[in-house]
Amino acid sequence: MPDPQQINRHTIAVLVDNEAGVLARVIGLFSGRGYNIESLTVAEVDPKQKLSRITVVTSGTAMIIEQIKAQLERLVPVHRVRDLTKEGAAVERELALVKVAGIGDKRVESLRIADIFRARAIDSTNESFVFEISGATDKLDAFIRLMEPLGLVDVSRTGVVAISRGGSTL
Amino acid sequence: MTKRLNGSEIVLKALVDQGVDVIFGYPGGAVLPLYDALFKQNAVRHVLVRQEGGAVHMAEGYARSTGKVGVVLVTSGPGATNAVTGLTDALMDSVPLVCLTGQVPTHLIGNDAFQEADTTGITRPCTKHNYLVRDVNDLARVMHEAFYVARSGRPGPVVVDLPKDILFAEGPYTGPEKLEHKTYRPKVKGDARAIERAVELIAGAKRPLFYCGGGLVNSGPRASELLTRFVRMTGAPITLTLMGLGTYPASDKQFLGMVGMHGMYESNMAMHDCDVMINIGARFDDRVTGKLSAFAPNSKKIHVDIDPSSINKNVVVDAPVVGDAANVLEEMIRVWKERKYAIDVKALDAWWKQIEGWRARNCLSFKNSDTIIKPQYAIRRLYEATMGKDVYITTEVGQHQMWAAQFFRFEQPNRWMTSGGLGTMGYGLPAAIGVQMAHPKSLVIDVAGEASFLMNIQELSTAVQYRLPVKAFIVNNQYMGMVRQWQELLHGGRYAESYTASLPDFVKLAEAYGLTGLRATKPSEVDGVIEKMISTPGPVIADIVVDQTENCFPMIPSGAAHNEMILGPEEKKGQPVSEEGMVLV
């Protein structure tokens, strides 16, 4: 039997009406009840029906994760809630823009590592690059860690977006 | 073609179409157009309160005693912020309310305009849902949706924020019949398999216990009837939460009394020792469970609740059923009959014998006095004087509330109005006014403490204006009694700020407001004052001057388990409260 006190990371997808205050409701729910938010992304996904999709990465015991789902479902503008981690395979991606400033060997090395990670330089000056990298969260973490000694000055990350594998929909 | 009305007319027409006959409110700049529309009609009565907080509690009293949605109308800014406590109270106790708040005109929103507050922002965590109407074309739909959301599923308060320009603008009116909510469709019918599993568990029980709560009140009187029928079919004992009192007839021998921190000894002991717990419409509140790790340790738990988020929130249960109490009970009875279930007679007999043993401890006994009025005595005599009458009881919050819950025995739901979840001092008087508005001919009594009573005392003026004969029965010990009790038990008797010096003379105060004031200072005067209070046709304050040092027992000390109840003052010594318990409040 799994340990009930075990804390796990879960990615939850929420389909909501794209109306004023809906994001505040979701965030307020997490802060008000003391749930953890590791990342949160939101954008409209169906302009015709005015639906937005929120992806929240959170962590907690199995009981807390169930609570989070039930509490989200209780919000009036919420259409559907799915625990993508629990309900089988899902793909997760995150995008980061990473600025590295430097000259000489470090600059060359940053380009070389970017190449290995399939990051693209989308802006460059004589003493800086902006790399665009996408992938799983730990890949981005690894890339950023490697850039640190090479002149990392700024990072902007989107947070995780996720979708289930196979033909099923939210 | 749909008729075009201005915003205020749309709001009023929606209220009428929703069956609203009375609203509680207070005017101000932002809602002047609505008040103008109110002035021109007779379908909806308006009760002018003295502070907006009072309006919300009145609407709560109205709603809880009728099962209808209570309606509040307040202005922007301070009007809305004053309503926040009542909204939170209604959210905690699942009371259906629609609160209309004025707002500055849309073009001024966000400009720090006069009497502007971010009402939807402030009330988001203390409402079930809220709306800011930015387009008059949405107004009729939003109004009907607000009522639908407030009363459906687990009921709660809904705020509709109305900018002043929207109230002037013209728009279409559509009736409530066209409403179908896009997303909010709570599940009322319980899953058949889940119900069968629950009933099987009950049938196999040796020491069953029903533990039921406010969800049965919200489900309607039919739920109480079905519960009574089912409990009698099983022969099992039943205990009720503070919010559930009245949903099972207290005179029935299967009823053990209230459960929880100040509940009956037999209820709490039965909770601890039961082997199958049947929770219907209660939410495992911390005042009920006590120490979670020692909560009913050897029981299988069934939990029927309309709100899926209540299930497995505090206590992991074995057989959850999501659905409306009445619906689920009906199915449970059907399955029980169909399968000809019966609980093992021998086991049930033994269980009842054990319970009778706990009952024999007579946990509500107290040492009475000839010279000083014991608060328990006053409340017991009040109950005895009102027994069998058409009576509604409201309370404030504190010792008197717990004593009222212990000594009053309710035969029907909707007769007991108290602030359970939030514990709002100042609830009882306005709630009584709201109840009296709905039941003008009934006897409505606010069992109060003097400290709570002062918190919304301004509403006495409302009672007088509308000739509402509410009775305030003040159990006056000059202390915030429950605070004093905890300071005695947990903080070495250091009574920091729990004594109120310079209390008003409540008899003179009653007269100043235009009520009748009565006082009892000796036990021999109590019955006379109660009789006079009841027979006086108008509103009354009865100031009952009681023992200042009395504590409310029985009691589960915080952080303790159900079987560690303290029965009386002689037991409390030598039982230090754990550090964990101190923190628990």
DSSP B412-435: STTSEE---SS--TT-HHHHHHHH
Q: Going residue by residue through chain B, which has 585 residues, state the pLDDT in tens, using 9 for 90 and above.
A: 567 899 999 999 999 999 999 999 999 999 999 999 999 999 999 999 999 999 999 999 999 999 999 999 999 999 999 999 999 999 999 999 999 999 999 999 999 999 999 999 999 999 999 999 999 999 999 999 999 999 999 999 999 999 999 999 999 999 998 778 989 999 999 999 999 999 999 999 999 999 999 999 999 999 999 999 999 999 999 999 999 999 999 999 999 999 999 999 999 999 999 999 999 999 999 999 999 999 999 999 999 999 999 999 999 999 999 999 999 999 999 999 999 999 999 999 999 999 999 999 999 999 999 999 999 999 999 999 999 999 999 999 999 999 999 999 999 999 999 999 999 999 999 999 999 999 999 999 999 999 999 999 999 999 999 999 999 999 999 999 999 999 999 899 999 999 999 999 999 999 999 999 999 999 999 999 999 999 999 999 999 999 999 999 999 988 899 999 999 887 765 555 677 777 776
Tokens for B176, please give them. Answer: 């409530």
d(CA B187, CA B195): 14
Angle between helices B221-234 and B325-338 (to 10 degrees): 30
What integer pLDDT is reported at residue B172 of this predicted model? 96
Taking alpha carbons only, the member of B571, B535, B537 closest to residue B553 is B571
Most distant CA pair in chain A, distance: 58
- Residues from chain B that touch A17, judged by Cβ atoms under 8 A, are 182-183
The verdict on B150 touching A (C-beta cutoff 8 Å) is no
How high does pLDDT run on average in chain A? 95
Question: SS3 for A155?
Answer: strand
Backbone angles phi, psi at B145, to 5 degrees: -60, -40
- Residues from chain B that touch A73, judged by Cβ atoms under 8 A, are 308-309
pLDDT in tens, A80-136: 999 999 988 899 999 999 999 999 999 999 999 999 999 999 999 999 999 999 999
Q: Which residue has the tokens 């035969």?
A: B411
On the CB side of B138, how many CA atoms lie within 13 Å of its CA? 14
The verdict on A61 touching B (C-beta cutoff 8 Å) is no
Contact A96, A154 (CB under 8 A): no
On the CB side of B69, how many CA atoms lie within 13 Å of its CA? 28
Beta bridge partners of A96: A133, A157
What integer pLDDT is reported at residue B575 of this predicted model? 58
The one-character DSSP state at B528 is: H
The one-character DSSP state at B68 is: S
Taking alpha carbons only, the member of B459, B452, B344, B456 closest to residue B398 is B452
What integer pLDDT is reported at residue B568 of this predicted model? 87
Facing A25 at nearest CB: one of B124, B308, B312: B124
The verdict on B340 touching A (C-beta cutoff 8 Å) is no
Q: Cβ-count burial of B66 within 10 angstroms (0-12 exposed, 13-18 middle, 19+ buried)?
A: middle
Cβ–Cβ contacts within 10 Å for residue A43, how many? 11
Q: Do B309 and A76 touch (CB under 8 A)?
A: no
Distance from CA of B199 to the nearest CA of A (A): 25
Angle between helices B375-386 and B399-407 (to 10 degrees): 40
Catalytic residues of B: 52, 114-115, 164, 482
d(CA B453, CA B462): 15
**pLDDT tier, A3 (very low <50, low <70, confident <90, very high otherwise):** confident
Contacts of B39 (CB under 8 A, 6+ apart): none
Tokens for B468, please give them. Answer: 């509402």
Cβ–Cβ contacts within 10 Å for residue A23, how many? 15
On the CB side of A3, how many CA atoms lie within 13 Å of its CA? 5
Beta bridge partners of B125: none
Contact B381, B368 (CB under 8 A): no
Facing B313 at nearest CB: one of A32, A67, A79: A67
What integer pLDDT is reported at residue B2 of this predicted model? 66
The verdict on A104 touching B (C-beta cutoff 8 Å) is no
Q: Which residue has the tokens 């004025």?
A: B102
Contact B57, B130 (CB under 8 A): no
Q: Cβ-count burial of B109 within 10 angstroms (0-12 exposed, 13-18 middle, 19+ buried)?
A: middle
Q: Pick the residue of A30, A76, A78, A80 with the most B CBs within 10 A to test the interface with B by mutation.
A: A76
Q: Do B121 and A24 touch (CB under 8 A)?
A: yes
The verdict on B412 touching A (C-beta cutoff 8 Å) is no
Taking alpha carbons only, the member of B36, B50, B52, B40 closest to residue B97 is B52
d(CA B519, CA B365): 25
- Residues from chain B that touch A76, judged by Cβ atoms under 8 A, are 128-129, 149, 183-184
What integer pLDDT is reported at residue B573 of this predicted model? 54
Q: Which residue has the tokens 């009748």?
A: B516
Beta bridge partners of B103: B163
Distance from CA of A20 to the nearest CA of B (A): 9
The Cα angle at residue B429 between residues B482 and B245, in degrees rounded to 5: 65
Q: Do B309 and A20 touch (CB under 8 A)?
A: no
The verdict on B168 touching A (C-beta cutoff 8 Å) is no
The verdict on A152 touching B (C-beta cutoff 8 Å) is no
Cβ–Cβ contacts within 10 Å for residue B360, how many? 10
Q: In terms of CA atoms, which chain A residue is nearest residue B158?
A: A76
What integer pLDDT is reported at residue B171 of this predicted model? 97
The verdict on B124 touching A (C-beta cutoff 8 Å) is yes
d(CA B66, CA B356): 36
Tokens for B104, please give them. Answer: 């500055």
Contact B69, B20 (CB under 8 A): yes
Taking alpha carbons only, the member of B100, B114, B13, B10 closest to residue B55 is B100
Question: What percent of chain A lies above the pLDDT cut of 90?
Answer: 92
Contact B25, B75 (CB under 8 A): no
What integer pLDDT is reported at residue A1 of this predicted model? 59
The verdict on B128 touching A (C-beta cutoff 8 Å) is yes
**pLDDT tier, A170 (very low <50, low <70, confident <90, very high otherwise):** confident
Tokens for B471, please give them. Answer: 């009775």
Question: What percent of chain A lies above the pLDDT cut of 70?
Answer: 99
- Residues from chain A that touch B311, judged by Cβ atoms under 8 A, are 70
d(CA B387, CA B389): 5
Q: Please report the ipTM that was assigned to this predicted complex.
A: 0.92
Q: Do A76 and B149 touch (CB under 8 A)?
A: yes
Taking alpha carbons only, the member of B397, B461, B392 closest to residue B426 is B397
Q: Which amino acid is at B379?
A: I
Distance from CA of B141 to the nearest CA of A (A): 15
d(CA B179, CA B175): 8
- Burial string for B15-28 (b: 16+ CB within 10 Å, else e) reads bebbebebbbbbbb
Facing B183 at nearest CB: one of A25, A66, A79: A79
Residues in chain A: 170
Cβ–Cβ contacts within 10 Å for residue B368, how many? 12
d(CA B416, CA B213): 12
Interface of B with A in 444-503 (CB under 8 A): none
Q: In terms of CA atoms, which chain B residue is nearest residue A20?
A: B132
Contact B311, A70 (CB under 8 A): yes
